[in-house]
Amino acid sequence: MTTLPDRPKTALLVVDVQNGVMEGAHDRAAVLSNIVTLVEKARGGGVPVVWVQHTSEELPRGSSVWEYVPELVPDSAEPLVHKEYGDSFEDTELEAVLASLAVGRLVVAGAQTDACIRSTLHGAFARGYDATLVADAHTTEDLTAYGAPEPGAVVAHTNLYWGFQTAPGRTAGTVKTDEVDFGVMASA
């Protein structure tokens, strides 16, 4: 269980599913379909959906590449956190948003697996959150030209090592989209 006192709730954290990030994403259609399913499932169960949106030189604020993909439309009542670093907690209001919602458990989906997803998972875990990665709802682009493994291997490796992540008083792991049960997670 989370080491954060008085934080019994679970939230879905959707990270950087923006036009410019998803443009060349591995298995884009399937991953987006799974994230849409997760958002609908969370909303249907009254589970908070928290959106994260990256800004950088390649993703300038207000540009079309910076916008969320058309398949995903944040509700105006759902928190939207803007970031400039890989870890969604770093120099953002994410911690304050989650505290105000009494969230101590995160279910994480989005992009990019080998950058913002990994950084955010580790950032959450180090800050005391339980952190579950949705194994079939995160993706990355092909960075083999820079020496990285092919995208499917990056996703598989991240799922493998996050499934075995441990720390005192916190849980981690992976689940597939069809295994996510926010009701159980919210009351556990």
As annotated, the active-site residues are 116
Longest distance between any two alpha carbons in the chain, whole Å: 46
Phi and psi at residue 55, to the nearest 5°: -125, 135
SS3 category, 132: strand
Phi and psi at residue 99, to the nearest 5°: -60, -40
> Which residues does residue 108 pair with via DSSP β-bridges, in sequence order?
13, 133
SS3 category, 169: coil
CB 155 within 8 A of CB 113: yes
